[in-house]
């Protein structure tokens, strides 16, 4: 762009200098401008005045300098336009190929404040992310695969790989758009896990009815969090650090007990989960959705149970390995 600017400035200078030169040769101002333009552009129109020897020599100089500068500037401008277009086209093609190879990824619909926070957390957790937003200018230089388009258009969801995605986060500005995205994503992928944002309390039940697995109301969540800081500030700080900050050694994690796992049919005491791995089981969620908090050592486990555990990263990795079938 700097070279283009220099070329345009040089071309403008030649036009001004040519106009002044022809005025000194006896042309009127308009005729001088006209003569300079037709000389530089080489259109071949008749000159408004008969040129004497000095005028011919000056015109030759204007042609040599002006035409060369004009061609140089035009070439640079065309190169910049084509280079930017081709670079953008290649970037989009490369991103489409990357998305086509993704499977089990998370699609975030809406790149607003909520979408940004979701992406930041998932990126820290090592999840594969595809961001979708109708405003393509908001998606530049993100570092994630992106799709620019209206998510209420089925083709946009297909370009984001909704058929192969594990989770979709509907974080759009309106409940109506989130409702549509929930229905559309469920129609393309019956197994996809849908988490939808709801601005109004009345929309929560509708989103659940049309297939959302979880519905989050940011206003209500923010109010609950503020109230929790009033009553239990240290507890909230601890959970925030464990879940989001990562500065503490401990982490909270969930683990689904697989079929034929050593934990399947065993009690916490007989499985010796803590002795074998060092991780602590804080709660168990049964397949029917009920929770067993602070389970006793005699609590029996079964396949499909979800263990809510706390421990260091290495302890949790040992627990995953310990629970693996075989």
Token look-up 């149970």 returns 305
R_g (Cα) of the chain, nearest Å: 34
Residues 6+ apart with CB under 8 A from 179: 196, 203, 206, 207, 210
Cα 41 from Cα 198, distance rounded (Å): 61
> Taking 70 as the threshold, does the pLDDT of residue 247 lie above it?
no
User: Is 207 in the same domain as 258?
Assistant: no
Query: SS in 3 state form for 250-309?
Result: EEEEEEECCCCCCCCCCEHHHHCHHHHHCCEEEEEECCCCCEEECCCCCCECCCCCEEEE
Kindly state the average pLDDT of the residues 148-171. Answer: 91
User: Is 67 in the same domain as 38?
Assistant: yes
> Taking 70 as the threshold, does the pLDDT of residue 244 lie above it?
no
- Structural domain of 256: 249-323
pLDDT category at 48 given cuts 50, 70, 90 is: confident
Least confident of 11-15, 86-90, 105-109, 217-221: 86-90
Kindly state the average pLDDT of the residues 300-313. Answer: 90
CATH (domain of 285): 3.30.70.1450
The 10s digit of each residue's pLDDT in 174-214 is: 999 999 999 999 999 999 999 999 988 888 889 999 989 99
Most confident of 20-34, 65-79, 258-272: 258-272
The 10s digit of each residue's pLDDT in 57-70 is: 888 888 788 888 88
Q: What angle do CA 54, 17, 40 make, to 5 degrees?
A: 80
User: Is 89 in the same domain as 112?
Assistant: no
Q: Which two tokens stand for residue 266?
A: 């065993």
Average pLDDT, the chain: 85
User: Is 211 in the same domain as 304?
Assistant: no
| Helix count and strand count (H, E) for the chain | 13, 10
Task: Between 70 and 227, name the one with better pLDDT.
Answer: 227
Whether residue 314 is contained in a domain is answered as yes
> Taking 60 as the threshold, does the pLDDT of residue 250 lie above it?
yes
Kindly state the average pLDDT of the residues 70-81. Answer: 77
pLDDT reported for residue 78: 74
Kindly state the average pLDDT of the residues 88-117. Answer: 86
User: Is 131 in the same domain as 196?
Assistant: yes
Rounded to two decimals, the pTM is 0.63
Least confident of 30-34, 53-57, 140-144, 219-223: 140-144
User: Is 67 in the same domain as 108?
Assistant: no
């Amino acid at each position: 762009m700097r070279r283009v600017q220099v070329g345009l400035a040089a071309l403008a200078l030649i036009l001004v200098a040519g106009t002044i030169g022809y005025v000194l040769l006896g042309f009127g101002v308009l005729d001088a401008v006209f003569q300079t333009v037709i000389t530089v552009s080489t259109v071949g129109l008749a000159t408004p005045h008969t040129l004497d020897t000095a005028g011919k020599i000056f015109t030759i100089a204007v042609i040599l300098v002006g035409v060369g500068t004009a061609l140089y500037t035009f070439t640079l401008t065309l190169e910049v336009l084509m280079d930017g277009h081709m670079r953008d086209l290649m970037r989009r093609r490369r991103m489409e190929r990357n998305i086509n190879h993704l499977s089990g990824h998370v699609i975030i619909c809406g790149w607003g404040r909520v979408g940004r926070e979701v992406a930041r957390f998932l990126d820290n957790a090592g999840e594969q992310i595809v961001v979708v937003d109708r405003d393509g200018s908001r998606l530049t230089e993100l570092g994630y695969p992106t799709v620019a388009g209206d998510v209420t258009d089925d083709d946009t969801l297909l370009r984001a790989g909704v058929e192969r995605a594990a989770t979709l986060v509907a974080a759009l500005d309106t409940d109506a758009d989130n409702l549509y995205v929930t229905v559309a994503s469920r129609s393309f992928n019956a197994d996809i896990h849908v988490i939808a944002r709801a601005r109004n309390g009345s929309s929560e039940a509708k989103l659940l009815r049309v297939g959302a697995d979880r519905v989050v109301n940011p206003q209500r969540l923010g109010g609950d969090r503020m109230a929790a800081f009033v009553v239990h500030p240290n507890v909230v700080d601890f959970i925030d650090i464990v879940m989001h900050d990562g500065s503490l050694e401990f982490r909270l994690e969930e683990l689904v007990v697989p079929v034929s796992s050593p934990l399947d049919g065993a009690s916490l005491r007989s499985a010796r989960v803590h002795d074998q791995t060092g991780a602590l089981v804080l709660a168990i969620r049964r397949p029917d959705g009920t929770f067993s908090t602070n389970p006793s050592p005699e609590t029996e486990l079964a396949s499909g149970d979800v263990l809510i555990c706390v421990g260091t990263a290495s302890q949790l990795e040992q627990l995953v390995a310990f629970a693996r079938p075989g």
